[in-house]
Each structure stands twice: as structure tokens, then as C-alpha cells.
């Protein structure tokens, strides 16, 4: 099954996809869009173009597990995305995904403008890979 992850942001939204075997998440793009309605349309178009069957949206929880204003915004966005795309949308805890993305970019010595352009897509990859690993773990039980 092809899954798409979304690291939703007010300006930049990272998007990642996995292969049909659900083994590997890969970055697709970073959408630079401040208008939520246009962003929804772009995400729906990407999902249709790539044959996506499920969407995973990052849920930004606080370190103590609680949810703040940003999490509420992401939940509302995910609900709209589910409605517009007619696909199942799963929320996935994204704590430390951006920190992990920055560490990965440090390891590859990605700096400056290039880093800013890709960090959200790398965060989406981390969210999706975490979800894929979770699915594998519980599918084998």
C-alpha cells in the first residue's frame, strides 16, 4: 500500500511517500503554501497522482505528551484532508521529528538555503518511517 506523510506547517509542508511494500519512506516535496485550502488541493492532487491509499499527518505533541494549540490545528487540518481526499488519515506523534531531521541533515553536511528547503520533507520521512515501523511491528503479532 502506498502511504503519504504530511508534516503540516503554516508556510512549508513536507511530504513523503513509501514504496508499495511499505519498506522505505522517501521525501517527495516541500509545498510552500500559506493558504490552507490551496494546500489541501495540492495534497489531494499529489495523493491522486501517486495512488496514495492512506495519509499520515504528524501530530506535534509536547514532550510530556500533552497537546497544545498546534496539535489542535493539525487535527483540524487532518480532518479536512480526510474529507477532501476521501482517504483514511492517521495522526502520528511527531515529537522530535524536526530535531531528528536536523541531525540527519547535519550528518550529510546540508546547510543554508538547501537545508531550509528540505528539512520539512525529511521530517515527513521520519514521521512516515516511524509509522511504517509501527505497522510492521503490530502486523507481525
**Residue 112 has what pLDDT?**
60
Query: What Cα–Cα distance (Å) separates residue 130 from each residue in 1, 39, 134?
Result: 16, 24, 6
**Residue 120 has what pLDDT?**
80
pLDDT in tens, 42-85: 999 999 999 999 999 999 887 787 888 989 999 999 999 999 99
Q: Which residues are registered as beta bridge partners of 12?
A: 32
Rounded to whole angstroms, the Cα distance separating 109 from 111 reads 6
pLDDT in tens, 105-134: 556 555 565 556 667 888 899 999 999 988
Domain at 45, CATH number: 3.30.420.140
User: What domain range includes position 21?
Assistant: 3-139
pLDDT in tens, 16-25: 999 999 999 9
Indicate if the pLDDT at residue 97 is higher than 80: no
The 10 Å Cβ neighbour count of residue 91 is 16
Q: State the chain's mean pLDDT as an integer.
A: 86
**Residue 7 has what pLDDT?**
94
The structural domain count of the chain equals 1
pTM: 0.85
**Residue 95 has what pLDDT?**
66
Buried b (16+ CB within 10 A) or exposed e, 58-86: bbbbeeeeeeeeebeebeebbebbeeebe
Asked if 44 and 89 touch (Cβ cutoff 8 Å), the reply is no
**Residue 105 has what pLDDT?**
56
Indicate if the pLDDT at residue 11 is higher than 60: yes
Amino acid at each position: 500500500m502506498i502511504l503519504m506523510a504530511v508534516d503540516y506547517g503554516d508556510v512549508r509542508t513536507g511530504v513523503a511517500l513509501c514504496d508499495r511494500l511499505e519498506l522505505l519512506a522517501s521525501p517527495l516535496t516541500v509545498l510552500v503554501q500559506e493558504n490552507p485550502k490551496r494546500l489541501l488541493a495540492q495534497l489531494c492532487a499529489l495523493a491522486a497522482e501517486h495512488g496514495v491509499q492512506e495519509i499520515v499527518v504528524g501530530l506535534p505533541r509536547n514532550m510530556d505528551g500533552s497537546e497544545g494549540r498546534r496539535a489542535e490545528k493539525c487535527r483540524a487540518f487532518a480532518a479536512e484532508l480526510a474529507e477532501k481526499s476521501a482517504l483514511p488519515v492517521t495522526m502520528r506523534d511527531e515529537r522530535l521529528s524536526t530535531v531528528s531531521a536536523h541531525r540527519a541533515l547535519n550528518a550529510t553536511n546540508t546547510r543554508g538555503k538547501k537545508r531550509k528547503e528540505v528539512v520539512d520533507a525529511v521530517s515527513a520521512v521520519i514521521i512516515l518511517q516511524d509509522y511504517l515501523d509501527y505497522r510492521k511491528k503490530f502486523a507481525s503479532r
